[in-house]
Structure 1
Amino acid sequence: MTHIHRLMATAALGLALSAPTAGAETWRYAFEEALDEVQGIFAQKFKEEVEANSDHEIQLFPYGTLGESADTMEQAQAGILQFVDQSPGFTGSLIPEAQVFFVPYLLPTDTETLASFFRNSEAINGMFPELYAEQGLELLTMFPEGEVAITTKEPFASPDELDEVKVRTMTNPLLVESYKAFGATPTPLPWGEVYGALQTNIIQGQENPMFFIESTKMYEVTDHVTMIGHNNFTTAVMANKDFYDGLPEEDRQVIENAIDVAFDHIIEYQKGLHETSIEKIKEAKPSMTFTTLTEEQRAPFREAAQEVEARFIEMTGEGGQAILDQMKKDLAEAQEASSS
């Protein structure tokens, strides 16, 4: 983040802090996307519910208004922000076990199974909150944002064809390991630098859910979209723990109810979003290609995923193993629930 950007972010936060509260509290909520993207839609529903059921006001800060992801996390931990939505991709250095969401081919792509998993998972609802609490954060919920697709300048259908292709990753050690295993050259970059790096060929690829590829116009600087089925983007909504613990029970209940309503809303909102986003990209750039690898083509990527899983255990030890085992159990139960 440049000096001028830090000044702008500080000024924006200063305005927020000086906003009148009319006798009620104003709570600040930052997230990693634009207002009309998935995290923004969730945040707007949360704001609507809190304001309809309390005297409090929620101020929303989309991506970029308060800096990069590292900045908003620091602000949430310091209590400057009351709420923050951030992917485990960025919290992996704080909470190594959260990198489990980047073990390839662990999460299913089916929306119903995913929704059931995130609602009922013991790993998410029972084990992760303790780990987040150690970092001064109250984990309120996690939710899926869509199947991750890879956009590149050249087509590929095997790890060999990704050789020497520089693919942008979040600053997440396990995601770096994944792309190494997939044959590519992982290149961690802050999101604000990605478009320019693709434009100038510093990197040749990046991964994101389809709606984000469309809304951020990644198709303008890449030519091919490939679905290898390796992951579904996950994000987490947190509160500053001291703030949350200091609230009266009534306010905590308002927040929990608003989170539940926003969760249901965002699952419903995402139905068909992947396909709609593809159509929008095709309309904007008819030459863009879309490829879904067959199970046979995915086999070498799945094989590579095994070494990434082993690397996750090396990084996180017994704690990581316990979370991975619990997640696999939770996923099996979600699969059974959605197919019955």
Structure 2
Amino acid sequence: MRCKIHLYGELGTSGEITELLQKGDLHFAFQSPGHLGSYIPEVQVFSIHYLFPTDFKLLEKILRKGPHTYKALQKYYRKHKLELLSIIEEGWQIWTANKPLRKPADFEGITFRVMSSPLLITAYRLYGAYVITVPYGQIYDDLALGRIDAETQPFFAIQEMKFYEVQDYMIKANQLPFIGTFAANHMFIKGLPEDIRDMINDAIEGANEYIFDFEPKLNEKRRQMIMAAKPSMKYIELTDEEINAFKE
């Protein structure tokens, strides 16, 4: 099997990629529940703040080996012409802003960018933010021009996309891990010979093993790279008491 790989942005926005996958114009794609929730409401379970454990091994067990995780979601993917192949964790989502965000009241009056999941939009509105959705590739310019004040990504994305250049604070609130799903067009995967499907599943399992081992190291390295590149950056980890205010 030979695969042609397209990098982010080559084929359109996240929503457009979902539609290409549903039509069969794409065979495989990473689908973030943060965007996919607009199509499959049930995947918004991955967008519920403070639902997931901070214990990494327990989180991995839930996502990779939970007895009901795939079974519960697969029927909803198939209903929308998709096949769920993998669920991965890409790091805790970090708030970036130009002021500290330590309590819900700190969100009042700021324009906060989130993905298009209705549940995410509602969560940040409840904190008091004015919430907008813009394409991932547009975030840097909007931050630099002041069209948005804050956003949330794992460390690796903040570093790769250089969001830290136009933000002064990074805040870890443990509200939500960034969870990605790897999906295929349902009819395409269903039509493959069994031995090819087995080969794909073996490759996915091997990739999952690598990803869950590598992710914590990657994000910590990227955090250190950000702090080295911008020593004035202020990194805040919320206390349990501060986190409880968001849970309430």
Cα distance change, pair 123–164 in 1 and its aligned pair in 2 (3 A): farther
Question: Does 1:185 pair with 2:136?
Answer: no
Q: Secondary structure at the match of 1:234?
A: strand
Matched letter for residue 85 of structure 1: F
Map 1:141-156 onto structure 2 (within 5 A): 141-156=86-101
Q: Which moved more, 1:143-152 or 1:182-191?
A: 182-191
Gaps of 5+ in 1: 1-55, 304-340
Where is the helix percentage greater, Structure 1 or Structure 2? 1
What per-residue deviation string (whole Å, max 9, x for no partner) do you get for residues 63-97 of structure 1? 01111111211111111111011101111111101
Q: Distance in 1 between matches of 2:61 and 2:201?
A: 18
Asked if structure 1 preserves the Cα contact closer than 8 Å seen for 2:91 and 2:216, the reply is: no
Asked if structure 1 preserves the Cα contact closer than 8 Å seen for 2:30 and 2:180, the reply is: yes
Gaps of 5+ in 2: none
Q: CA deviation at 1:212?
A: 0.8
Q: CA deviation at 1:176?
A: 0.5
Q: Secondary structure at the match of 2:189?
A: helix
Q: Distance in 2 between matches of 1:211 and 1:71?
A: 24
Map 1:211-250 onto structure 2 (within 5 A): 211-250=156-195
Question: Does 1:60 pair with 2:13?
Answer: no
Q: Distance in 2 between matches of 1:228 and 1:284?
A: 23
Residue 198 of structure 1 is matched in structure 2 by: 143
Match of 2:234 among 261, 273, 289: 289
Match of 2:197 among 243, 252, 262: 252
Map 1:1-340 onto structure 2 (within 5 A): 56-303=1-248
Q: CA deviation at 1:275?
A: 1.8
Higher relative CO (CA 8 A, sep ≥ 6), structure 1 or 2? 2
What per-residue deviation string (whole Å, max 9, x for no partner) do you get for residues 279-330 of structure 1? 1001111100000000011111011xxxxxxxxxxxxxxxxxxxxxxxxxxx
Q: Secondary structure at the match of 2:242?
A: helix
Asked if structure 2 preserves the Cα contact closer than 8 Å seen for 1:227 and 1:291, the reply is: yes
Number of equivalent positions: 248
Q: Secondary structure at the match of 2:5?
A: strand
Q: CA deviation at 1:156?
A: 2.2
Q: Secondary structure at the match of 1:109?
A: coil
Q: Secondary structure at the match of 2:4?
A: strand
Matched letter for residue 201 of structure 1: G
Matched letter for residue 98 of structure 1: V
Identity %: 35
What per-residue deviation string (whole Å, max 9, x for no partner) do you get for residues 120-172 of structure 1? 22342111011100011111011111111000011121111111111101111
Q: CA deviation at 1:274?
A: 2.4
Asked if structure 1 preserves the Cα contact closer than 8 Å seen for 2:14 and 2:31, the reply is: yes
Matched letter for residue 109 of structure 1: T
Q: Distance in 2 between matches of 1:123 and 1:302?
A: 26
Scaled by the length of structure 2, the TM-score of the pair is 0.97
What per-residue deviation string (whole Å, max 9, x for no partner) do you get for residues 231-261 of structure 1? 0000111111111111110011001111100
Scaled by the length of structure 1, the TM-score of the pair is 0.71
Q: Which moved more, 1:142-151 or 1:104-113?
A: 104-113
Matched letter for residue 16 of structure 2: D
Q: CA RMSD in A?
A: 1.0
Q: Distance in 2 between matches of 1:241 and 1:247?
A: 10
Q: Secondary structure at the match of 1:60?
A: coil
Matched letter for residue 247 of structure 1: L
Q: Secondary structure at the match of 2:151?
A: strand
